[in-house]
């Protein structure tokens, strides 16, 4: 994510604060080996199993896993009439993936004759993330997408007093907040539950899984006449990068004012 979004070197708005020039098109590609075994499972069958995967970093896109075509196994591939054209990679061919009675249309694609500047894609195929029921990075099940090795999450005890306000009502006030810095995103303050008006929070039913921080649960904020929808979230089942903010609340809503001041 850090390479291809925000101010990353392969983003559309690459930084000017460098002493070099990248000789690259406006839309850049960069592929590198992925260091661990990756598996994908469909209908209880492993359909992808590789230790030779590569992550393709591409401007404005999330990194995409490409694997040697021979590492697709356990299901049958049927050629599809569907094709797409990428001005940077070439013409893509597609295959349907079948396991038993279940078929996922256009689940797999490859560039049989890639553009010369992307010739290293020859012999590699990719599977849509949603085409599989489960993905594994080594023995850890991964949701959403594989972790980008250039994406980082750091959490520190905040040096400021954090106040969350809705109108005249203080929703949270804490001198014990944690500041979470994540590549490509603004800093977020996570506030311990003892410093939050939790009586104003109602579970919203919205869940979100972050590949770096883990499983998040969202909350509505009760106001006098209505709820602010999904105004806060907390990581109830964090991964390693989210453990320092487990069960802390983070607030973000257009009607909330979040301010900081020296302790």
pLDDT of residue 59: 85
Enumerate residues 6+ apart whose C-beta is below 8 A from 135: 38, 39, 40, 41, 129, 141, 142, 143, 146
85, 130: one domain: yes
pLDDT of residue 154: 97
Q: How far apart are CA 169 and CA 163, in angstroms?
A: 10
- Tokens in use for 31? 């592929």
34, 137: one domain: yes
175, 214: one domain: yes
Q: What is the CATH number of the domain that holds 41?
A: 2.170.150.40
186, 254: one domain: yes
Q: Is position 11 within any domain? A: no
Q: Domains in the chain: how many in total? A: 2
Which structural domain, as residue segments, surrounds residue 49?
A: 29-142
Q: Is the pTM of this model over 0.95?
A: no
3-state secondary structure of 252: coil
Q: Is position 63 within any domain? A: yes
Q: Is position 7 within any domain? A: no
Enumerate residues 6+ apart whose C-beta is below 8 A from 70: none
Q: List per-residue pLDDT tens for the chain, 263 residues long.
A: 578 776 777 777 777 787 766 665 578 899 999 999 999 999 999 999 999 999 999 988 889 999 999 999 988 999 999 999 999 999 999 999 999 999 999 999 999 999 999 999 999 999 999 999 999 999 999 988 899 888 999 999 999 999 999 999 999 999 999 999 998 889 999 999 999 999 999 999 999 999 999 999 999 999 888 899 999 999 999 999 999 999 999 999 999 999 999 99
Between the alpha carbon of residue 103 and those of residues 11, 79, 159, the distances in Å are 36, 12, 54
113, 159: one domain: no
Q: Is 239 in contact with 246 (CB distance < 8 Å)?
A: no
- Tokens in use for 82? 């569907």
């Amino acid at each position: 994510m850090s390479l291809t979004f925000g101010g990353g070197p392969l983003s559309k708005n690459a930084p000017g604060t460098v002493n070099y020039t990248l000789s690259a098109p406006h839309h850049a590609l960069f592929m590198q080996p992925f260091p661990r075994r990756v598996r994908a499972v469909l209908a209880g069958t492993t359909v992808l199993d590789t230790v030779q995967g590569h992550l393709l970093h591409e401007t404005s896109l999330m990194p995409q896993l490409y694997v040697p075509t021979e590492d697709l196994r356990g299901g049958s591939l049927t050629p599809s009439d569907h094709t797409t054209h990428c001005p940077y990679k070439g013409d893509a061919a597609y295959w349907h993936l079948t396991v038993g009675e279940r078929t996922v249309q256009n689940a797999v694609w490859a560039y049989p004759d890639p553009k010369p500047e992307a010739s290293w894609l020859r012999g590699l195929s990719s599977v849509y993330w949603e085409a599989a029921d489960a993905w594994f990075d080594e023995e850890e099940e991964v949701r959403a997408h594989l972790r980008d090795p250039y994406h980082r999450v750091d959490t520190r005890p905040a040096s400021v007093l954090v106040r969350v306000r809705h109108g005249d009502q203080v929703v949270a006030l804490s001198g014990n907040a944690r500041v979470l810095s994540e590549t490509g995103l603004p800093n977020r303050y996570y506030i311990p539950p003892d410093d939050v008006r939790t009586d104003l929070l109602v579970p919203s039913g919205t869940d979100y899984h972050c590949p770096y921080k883990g499983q998040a649960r969202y909350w509505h904020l009760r106001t006098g006449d209505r709820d602010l929808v999904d105004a806060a979230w907390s990581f109830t089942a964090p991964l390693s990068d989210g453990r320092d903010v487990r069960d802390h609340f983070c607030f973000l809503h257009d009607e909330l004012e979040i301010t900081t001041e020296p302790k």
